Structure 1
Amino acid sequence: MYDERTSRRHLLRGVAVTTAAGPLVAGCIGDGGGTNDAATPRGDTEPNDRTFDGWLDGVEGADSLVDRTDASDVRVRVGTEGNGGYFAFAPVVLRVSSGTTVTWEWTGVGSAHNVVAKDGSFRSELTGDEGTTFSHEFDASGVAKYACLPHRSLGMKGVVVVE
C-alpha cells in the first residue's frame, strides 16, 4: 500500500544521505595532492617511480605524476597538506608540453612560501597570501626542479617535466 508520508520520508532521508556523503566521495576521487579544488590541475594521473636524481627522495606525493600535456595553462597549488604540515605542492610531479605556462597559486596556509627553480631560471616572491599567483612559461624540453626555500628541508619540492 502506498503511503505518501513514508515516501516523502524516504526521499528526504535519501537526499540527506546524498548531501552528507557528497564531500566524502569528492575527497576520495581527488588527485592525491591534499585539498581538492578548481586550482588543482586535472589530467591523467599515473604512477611515478623517478626521483629525479634524488630530488624527490622522501617527498610526499612524488609517487604519482599528473599529465597535462593537453593544456596550454596549468595550475599548481602552493601550501597543500603534505610533508608534516601544509608544506607541499599539488601536484608534486607535473608533465606538460613545451610552450605551457604553469601558474602556482597559494592556498594561504602553511606560512609563507615561494617557488624557486633549482637552476635559478625562475623565482617567485615569498608570500603567504591566499590567491597569490606566479607564472612561468616552459618553452624548452627538459626537467625543471623547484622548491619552496624556507621548507625545502621538509620536502616542499616539485618537478615539471616538459616534453
Structure 2
Amino acid sequence: MKRRDFVRTAGGATAAVAAGAGATGSAAAQEEQPDWPSGVTNGNLGEYVDARGESEVTVEVGAGDDGLAFNPTQLWVDTGTTITWEWTGSGGSHNVVTVEGAADLDSGDAVGEEGYTYEYEVTEEDAGITHYHCVPHDTTGMHAGIAVGEDVETVEVGGASTGWPEDIAYVGVVLHPHWIGIAAILGVGLSFVFTFYLLKYGESSHTGHGGSQ
C-alpha cells in the first residue's frame, strides 16, 4: 500500500468515528415538554408543537391517514393565544370536548364538514394542562392536550440513555462525552493497526512471513 493510500485509509476511519460521535451527541439532546397525562400521550398521531410566543395557532381535526387524530396532538401555548380547531372533513364527524383540565373546551355536536372551525382563546384561568377528545371517537384514540402558560409541570424527553442508573449518571461531567471520546480513540487506533499490517505485510497480515504456502 502506498503512503498516500495509508493516509486516505486512516483519515477515512477517523472521519467515520467522528461522524458517529456527532450523531451520538445529537441523539443525546434533550427537550423540555409538559408532563402530559397518559390519555394525551396515547392519543393518535402524537405530534408535539411548542407554540409559545404565537398569538394564533391552528389544530387540524380529522388529521392522519384515517382522519382520527388532532394535529398537533400536544400543544403548548401562552395565555391569550387563540386556538382554532379546523375540520379536515376526514374520518367522519368530530367535536372537541374537555376530558379533564382547566380549559372548558366544547365545540358542540360532532361535525363532519370540511373547513368548519371552533375557536377558543386561552386565559390565565386555563393555565395548566387540559386533556380533550373527540366524543364519537374516544375509544379509537382521538385524544389530545393543550398546555397553557409557563407554570406547568414539565419533563425532559429525548436523548440517548446512558445505560446507567440515574444516581450515577453523572461522574464529574456527563457520561456521554467519555464514551464518545473512548470510541473515537479506539477507532483511530484500530485503523492505524490495520494499515500498519497492510504496509508491512502487503494485502494480508499472513503474507510475508516466509515459508511455503
Same fold (TM over 0.5): yes
Equivalent residue letter for 1:134: Y
Query: 2:90 is matched by which residue type in structure 1?
Result: V
- Displacement after TM superposition at 1:59 (Å): 2.3
Structure 2 unmatched runs, 5+: 1-29, 150-213
The residue that corresponds to 2:137 in the other structure is: 151
Give, as a single letter, the amino acid of the residue that structure 2 aligns with 1:115.
Answer: V
Aligned length: 115
RMSD over aligned CA atoms reads 2.2
Quote the residue 1:59 is aligned against. 43
Q: Classify 1:60/1:49 alpha carbon distance in 2 versus 1 (closer, same or farther; 3 Å).
A: farther
Corresponding residue number in structure 1 for 2:80: 99
Identity of aligned residues (%): 35
Q: TM-score, normalised by structure 2?
A: 0.49
Aligned pair partner of 2:113 in 129, 134, 139: 129
CA distance in 2: counterparts of 1:77 and 1:47, whole angstroms: 24
Per-residue deviation, 1:61: 2.8
What is the distance in 2 between the residues matched to 1:96 and 1:133? 19
Q: Does 1:138 align with 2:122?
A: yes
C-alpha distance in 2 between matches for 1:48 and 1:160: 15
Cα deviation digits, residues 79-127 of structure 1 (max 9, x gap): 0115xx2100000001100111111000011100000011471211310
Question: Match of 1:111?
Answer: 92
**Do the aligned residues in 1 keep the contact of 2:44 with 2:70 (CA within 8 Å)?**
no
Following superposition, which runs of at least 4 residues in structure 1 exceed 4 angstroms of deviation? 46-51
Higher RCO, Cα 8 Å, sep 6+: 2
Q: What amino acid is the match of 1:55? A: G
Contact kept in structure 1, 2:134 and 2:142, CA below 8 Å = yes
User: Which residue of structure 1 aligns with residue 159 of structure 2?
Assistant: none
Match of 2:38, SS state, is coil
Query: Amino acid of the residue matched to residue 60 of structure 1?
Result: N
Q: Unpaired runs of 5+ in structure 1?
A: 1-45
Q: Which amino acid in 1 is paired with 2:84?
A: T
State the Cα distance separating 1:149 from its structure 2 match: 0.5
- Aligned-partner Cα distance in 2 for 1:78–1:51: 23
**In 2 relative to 1, CA 128–47 (structure 1 residues): closer, same or farther, beyond 3 Å?**
farther
Alpha-carbon distance between aligned partners in 2 of 1:53 and 1:91, rounded to the nearest angstrom: 16
TM-score, normalising length: structure 1: 0.63
**Which has the larger strand fraction?**
1
Amino acid in structure 2 at the alignment position of 1:105: E
